[in-house]
A and B are shown apart, each in its own frame.
Chain A
Amino acid sequence: VLEKINEPVSVIATFSCSRQGVVRVMPYAISWRGKRYRVETFGLYHPERRGTKKVHIFSFSSGSVAFRVELDPDTLGWRLVEVYYEN
């Protein structure tokens, strides 16, 4: 079941930088509605342009729940956009 959420969330993420200067952001865990979910399988990172803003989107799963979160480059805030869970 796919559920649209669209609410701010807390995410623990690593920001690592390679020798070539490429920054890699990897979510580690997400806190949502009082529960902490650790990223078990990372799915995909992809950017989406909204006007001049480039929003960074991360998809991953934790147990039987899959999340889609967005990192806003202006506020550096995370927003949970979608949750997919198995019946």
Chain B
Amino acid sequence: MKIEASRKPSEIMHVDLNSAFAMTEQQANPLLRGKPVGITNRLNDWAICITASYEAKRQGIGIGTRWREARQKSHNFVMLESDPAKYTYVHAQLKRIFASYSPVAFMKSIDEGIIDFRGLSKLQKNRPLTDIAQEIKRRVKEEVGDYMTVNIGIAQNRWLAKLAAGFLKPDGLYVIDRDNLEVIYGLIQLEELPYIKSKMRQRLNSANIFTPLEFYRAPESTLVKQVFRSINGHHWYLKLRGYETEVEFRVRTIGRSYVLEHRTADPKELAALLYKAAVKLSRRLARTGVAARGVMVGLGYAVSQHQEGPYGWYQRQMYASPVSRADQLFGRMMDLFGCSPPHREVSSLSVTCYGLERRYIEQLSLLEDDYSRRERLEGAINSLNDRYGELTVIPAILATSSNPMKDKIPFGGIRYLD
């Protein structure tokens, strides 16, 4: 059955901070404004740009560009180490501004959010959303920083609103509705559509879909049976026509990725770092009120140009009972870590807890007779660390560790920022 494009008005707004981290640094340091700036996690010889300012992008520097390469491209390029506290503050300010317009306003990531205006036209006194968008742009400048600009897209669903926000960068404002939908699809390439990357493009190409317009006009059966081979095909068919298909999911995994300051192959040192990760994860699990049955450990290897892969290793395991204490998580992580290839120099590590379950009183194990004592100890350590800062009280294994770990993504998941 063919479904027409949605007739609903465009009432979903997507707001996206331009080159978020780089712009925040340019806001903080006025001397960096108008200059090519890049942000990295740790400033060292291998530093890779995780975000770049518009000035840097214009000179061919973007995500993944190495510091050395960037300096060759631009003599006045400035690379800075990420400063999560700044980005978290900007995130909170954006969230506050968005929430003042609609009860259904939320952040999708550290630098982008959705404001749902459906059913609020009377409350907004029939003000056009483009007016409100201009007001948001003004407020961001006044309340966050005068150098900050945002792209705003308005459309019938979140996906189209994100697409609209991508036009006219930086500081753009664009509206997609039923009338210009096909025109827009006719103007862009497949990979300019949100969430369409090279693999997805190849799948679409294999079904003779080469442009967004062909994607839009493709029969639902083609998308369901040939391209996606799942219900996702139906969702894409609706999404392209302006119907809402995105729903909020509960937290399903809690994890962290870290880059190591000093690369190491020493299993003792790596074990200490895993314990540090376990402590942090255990605090997150406690804060979220869940315990995890599944644990995954991943290692990223330092591979030089002359070496062959593999570039990384990971192992995961689903256990029968859920755990949440650091020592329990560490035990499981070490089981998995023991399976990793020896003598490989590690440059990054990631740990993820999955199979999350609400944390009730855990099933007592016959083998753990000191269960409640350990629970109380962990609770006391957490209270002290809440009061005096993360990792103030640490297990002895960490006392000798001199290899600082920094979050691979400088902000972590936004669900932890509330």
Q: Which A residues have a C-beta under 8 Å from some C-beta of B?
A: 2, 40-41, 43-44, 46-52, 57, 59-61, 64-66, 68, 84-86
* Closest A residue, CB atoms, query B26: A43
B89 touches A61 (CB 8 A): no
Of listed A46, A47, A60, A66, residue having the most chain B CB within 10 A: A46
B217 interface contact, C-beta 8 A: no
B389 touches A43 (CB 8 A): no
Q: Which of A2, A40, A51, A66 makes the CB contact (< 8 A) with B392? A: A51
Q: Which B residues have a C-beta under 8 Å from some C-beta of A?
A: 24, 27-32, 80, 85-86, 89-90, 145, 385-389, 392
Q: Within the assembled complex, what's the spacing in Å between the Cα atoms of A52 and B383?
A: 11
B86 touches A51 (CB 8 A): no
Q: Within the assembled complex, what's the spacing in Å between the Cα atoms of A40 and B392?
A: 38
A46 touches B86 (CB 8 A): yes
Across the A-B interface, the 9 shortest Cβ-Cβ residue pairs: A46-B89, A51-B389, A41-B30, A59-B28, A44-B28, A48-B85, A51-B388, A61-B30, A43-B28
Q: Within the assembled complex, what's the spacing in Å between the Cα atoms of A48 and B87?
A: 11
* B387 surroundings in chain A (CB, below 8 A): 51-52
B30 touches A60 (CB 8 A): yes
* B392 surroundings in chain A (CB, below 8 A): 51
Q: Within the assembled complex, what's the spacing in Å between the Cα atoms of A86 and B387?
A: 39
B27 touches A57 (CB 8 A): no
* A2 surroundings in chain B (CB, below 8 A): 80
Given known contacts A43-B145, A44-B86, A46-B89, A51 and B386 CB-to-CB distance under 8 angstroms: yes
B29 touches A57 (CB 8 A): no
A44 touches B31 (CB 8 A): no
B27 touches A44 (CB 8 A): yes
* A48 surroundings in chain B (CB, below 8 A): 85
Q: Within the assembled complex, what's the spacing in Å between the Cα atoms of A40 and B24?
A: 18
* A86 surroundings in chain B (CB, below 8 A): 31
Known: A48-B85, A61-B29. 8 other contacts (CB 8 A): A43-B28, A43-B29, A51-B387, A51-B388, A52-B387, A59-B29, A60-B30, A85-B31
Q: Within the assembled complex, what's the spacing in Å between the Cα atoms of A48 and B24?
A: 15
Given known contacts A2-B80, A43-B145, A64 and B31 CB-to-CB distance under 8 angstroms: yes
B30 touches A66 (CB 8 A): yes
A43 touches B89 (CB 8 A): no
* A64 surroundings in chain B (CB, below 8 A): 31
Closest beta carbon of chain A to B100's beta carbon, Å: 14
* Closest A residue, CB atoms, query B79: A2
* Closest A residue, CB atoms, query B384: A51
* A40 surroundings in chain B (CB, below 8 A): 30
* Closest B residue, CB atoms, query A67: B29
Of listed A43, A49, A50, A84, residue having the most chain B CB within 10 A: A43
30 A-B pairs in the complex with CB atoms less than 8 angstroms apart? A40-B30, A44-B24, A44-B27, A44-B86, A44-B145, A46-B28, A46-B85, A46-B86, A46-B89, A46-B90, A47-B89, A51-B385, A51-B386, A51-B387, A52-B387, A52-B388, A57-B85, A59-B29, A61-B29, A61-B30, A61-B31, A65-B31, A66-B30, A66-B31, A66-B32, A68-B28, A84-B29, A84-B31, A85-B31, A86-B31
* Closest B residue, CB atoms, query A43: B28
A50 touches B31 (CB 8 A): no
* B90 surroundings in chain A (CB, below 8 A): 46
* B389 surroundings in chain A (CB, below 8 A): 50-51
Closest beta carbon of chain B to A42's beta carbon, Å: 8
* B29 surroundings in chain A (CB, below 8 A): 43, 59, 61, 66, 84
Q: Within the assembled complex, what's the spacing in Å between the Cα atoms of A57 and B32?
A: 18
Q: Within the assembled complex, what's the spacing in Å between the Cα atoms of A51 and B382?
A: 11
Q: Within the assembled complex, what's the spacing in Å between the Cα atoms of A50 and B86?
A: 14
* B89 surroundings in chain A (CB, below 8 A): 46-47
* Closest B residue, CB atoms, query A87: B76
* A52 surroundings in chain B (CB, below 8 A): 386-388
Q: Within the assembled complex, what's the spacing in Å between the Cα atoms of A84 and B26?
A: 12
Q: Within the assembled complex, what's the spacing in Å between the Cα atoms of A57 and B89?
A: 11
Closest beta carbon of chain A to B229's beta carbon, Å: 47
Of listed A2, A64, A85, residue having the most chain B CB within 10 A: A2
Of listed A41, A44, A61, A64, residue having the most chain B CB within 10 A: A44
* B24 surroundings in chain A (CB, below 8 A): 44
* A60 surroundings in chain B (CB, below 8 A): 30
